[in-house]
Amino acid sequence: MDGEPDLYIGGAWRHASDGGTRDVINPADGSVAGVVDEATPDDARQAVAAARAAFDDGAWRATPVAERAALLDRVAELLQRDKEDLAALETRDTGKTLAESRIDIDDVTSVFRYYAKLVGVDGGDTGRIIDVGNPAVISRVVREPIGVCVLIAPWNYPLLQMSWKIAPALAAGCTMVAKPSEVTPLSTIAFVHLLEEAGVPPSVVNLVQGSGAVLGEALTATAEVDFISFTGGLATGTTISKMAADNVTKVAVELGGKNPHIVFADVRDAGDGDSWAAAVDHVLTGVFLHSGQVCSAGTRLIVEESVADDFVTALAARAETIRIGDGMDPASETGPLVSEQHRAKVEAYVELGISEGAKLITGGARPADPALAKGSFYLPTIFDRCDRSMRIVREETFGPILTVERFTTEAEAIALGNDTEYGLAAGVRTSDAARGERVVRALRHGTVWLNDFGYYTAAAEWGGFGKSGNGRELGPTGLTEYQEIKHIWHNTAPTAAGWFKG
């Protein structure tokens, strides 16, 4: 960054082969947060070749799991040592508040610790022995590293999303090429320096940053790569899946979401003010945290008709008090959108919502505060009287926009919650535990929160139903994605098969 080489290929830091660079913009004020090298397709091919050679060499995958686990633990320690610097980089790059960036770094740390523990205890899922009825035969199923992995992450949680890939890939014994979003590469560059310091062997982790459209083919349409783990939008995920298909490369895609948050009237009827206040608070946080740039943001409020007016009124009152500002300012509760281009996309969705007949309750504009004029800020926006015919309800806007739909029966709430091509996450608020259990089981989403919203743990799988993707990250499955399964049939007392008699 800023004159230092930023591409890490074959264990060496390099500039781009054509000298290209990119300005990384701080969305809070439009200033240049850093100038980074911009890889060419040839650089990307070299990174893949380095990862291939390192995998085929066999040294890394033969490293005892205890050593790999110790390395992951060292990475976790370094992350905590550099937490403040990494968090500040993430905030300058993405615009999110420093408080949120600090949580991200803690979460990244917990992912490394989790996979260190998972493989460190007994190698993770080491497979199983099968009784084939012949005591001379040892039949066992083992898991082995899948090989060379290409890891592509989005801009909303740059380091966090990348860590969900790098940690299990290292734990499994894979080699890899990481490509962060061109919009937010700073924390990943700093992090790869940490991996080097922690002792990751040369060529095991390679890093290229640059435009996905330019580098995509070199990274994904190649037989040199065994597995592609991608997090990003539906259109890009589809393109990558198609590019990988000719080589039958395994692909796991974590895509977008249009996530329902269902609120039953009983949260108020229960008579305890706490349930009602918590529901309002979680719907608010679920949609407006990080200005809605969260794949699992609860952007669709589906609320029971009898309390809908009061709920929306309470919500709008809170939305109007959200303190928007530069993420580096401790007073800010949410920051800007990630770029001017992205704000333009969000604004187009607000115009669309109005033209579709949704009722604008609050927001729908840039903040008036002149101090925010240089940043890509946008007000928390609520649309009431929405229905499933509206694109604003069906498409991922990835901004601070909440749509409100109403229901009268439990069955209707479930049907609305499932009426989406996505299926990443959903929330349910009810004071009736039996109803809560019925509804969470009926919802077709990868994560469902009951009387809570947004929480996750490194130990539980994350991923989506439907067009929210395939595969899973985190948890034990997040490791097995990076493994191949091999069945070994060992006959310790071989005799002739005896099939052919001649």
Give the list of residues 6+ apart from residue 177 with CB closer than 8 angstroms, or none: 44, 47, 48, 51, 148, 149, 150, 151, 206, 207, 208, 219, 225
| Number of Cβ atoms within 10 Å of the Cβ of 106 | 15
Q: How far apart are CA 207 and CA 159, in angstroms?
A: 13
Site string for ligand NDP, 72-111 (x = CB under 6 A): ----------------------------------------
For position 213 contacting ligand NDP by CB under 6 A, the verdict is: yes
For position 233 contacting ligand NDP by CB under 6 A, the verdict is: yes
CB closer to ligand NDP out of 95 and 469: 469
**Which region among 9-17, 131-139, 211-219, 437-445 touches ligand NDP (by CB under 6 A)?**
211-219
Q: Can 386 be counted among the known catalytic residues?
A: no
Smallest distance, Å, CB 11 to ligand NDP? 23
Smallest distance, Å, CB 451 to ligand NDP? 22
**Which region among 129-137, 141-149, 252-260, 358-366 touches ligand NDP (by CB under 6 A)?**
252-260
CB closer to ligand NDP out of 163 and 220: 220
CB closer to ligand NDP out of 203 and 222: 222
Smallest distance, Å, CB 183 to ligand NDP? 5
Active-site residue, selected from the candidate residues 295, 396, 405, 473: 295
**Which region among 115-123, 212-220, 300-308, 479-487 touches ligand NDP (by CB under 6 A)?**
212-220
CB closer to ligand NDP out of 46 and 161: 161
Q: Which of 295, 401, 426, 479 contacts ligand NDP by CB under 6 A?
A: 295
Q: Can 295 be counted among the known catalytic residues?
A: yes
Question: Is 201 exposed, middle or buried (CB count within 10 Å of its CB: 0-12, 13-18, 19+)?
Answer: middle
What residues between 339 and 358 interact with ligand NDP by CB under 6 A?
none
For position 152 contacting ligand NDP by CB under 6 A, the verdict is: yes
What residues between 155 and 194 interact with ligand NDP by CB under 6 A?
155-157, 161, 179, 181-183
Owner of token pair 């060496």: 12
Burial code (b: 16+ CB inside 10 Å, e: under 16) for 277-309 equals ebbbebbbbbbbbbbbbbbbbbbbbbbbeebbe
CB closer to ligand NDP out of 173 and 256: 256
Smallest distance, Å, CB 147 to ligand NDP? 19
Question: Is 63 exposed, middle or buried (CB count within 10 Å of its CB: 0-12, 13-18, 19+)?
Answer: middle
Smallest distance, Å, CB 417 to ligand NDP? 18
Give the list of residues 6+ apart from residue 392 with CB closer than 8 angstroms, or none: 349, 352, 353, 356, 358, 383, 386, 401, 403
Owner of token pair 């395994």: 250
- Are 144 and 88 within 8 A, CB to CB? no
Region of residue 466 (left: phi > 0; alpha: psi -120 to 50; beta: else): left
Q: Which of 34, 120, 147, 154 contacts ligand NDP by CB under 6 A?
A: 154
CB closer to ligand NDP out of 112 and 155: 155
Smallest distance, Å, CB 58 to ligand NDP? 28
Smallest distance, Å, CB 307 to ligand NDP? 29
Tokens (6 digits) for 375: 């940043």
For position 256 contacting ligand NDP by CB under 6 A, the verdict is: yes
Q: Which of 91, 187, 229, 236 contacts ligand NDP by CB under 6 A?
A: 236
Pairing of strands 137-145, 128-130: antiparallel
What residues between 437 and 496 interact with ligand NDP by CB under 6 A?
464, 468-469
Smallest distance, Å, CB 447 to ligand NDP? 10
Active-site residue, selected from the candidate residues 90, 254, 304, 396: 254
- Are 17 and 40 within 8 A, CB to CB? yes
Q: Does residue 78 sit in helix, strand or coil? A: helix
CB closer to ligand NDP out of 241 and 285: 241
Q: Does residue 106 sit in helix, strand or coil? A: helix
- Where in 282-366 does DSSP place strands (E)? 300-304, 359-362
Taking 3-state DSSP, the helix, strand and coil percentages for the chain, each rounded to the nearest 5, stand at: 45, 20, 40
| Number of Cβ atoms within 10 Å of the Cβ of 17 | 15
- Are 79 and 112 within 8 A, CB to CB? yes
For position 211 contacting ligand NDP by CB under 6 A, the verdict is: yes
**Which region among 29-37, 42-50, 150-158, 283-291 touches ligand NDP (by CB under 6 A)?**
150-158
For position 216 contacting ligand NDP by CB under 6 A, the verdict is: yes
Q: Does residue 222 sit in helix, strand or coil? A: coil
For position 231 contacting ligand NDP by CB under 6 A, the verdict is: yes
Q: How far apart are CA 381 and CA 287, in angstroms?
A: 10
**Which region among 14-22, 109-117, 248-256, 316-324 touches ligand NDP (by CB under 6 A)?**
248-256
Owner of token pair 């370094």: 78
Positions annotated as catalytic residues are: 254, 295
Q: Which residues lie near ligand NDP (CB under 6 A)?
A: 152-157, 161, 179, 181-183, 211-213, 216, 220, 231-233, 236, 239-240, 254-257, 295, 396, 398, 424, 464, 468-469
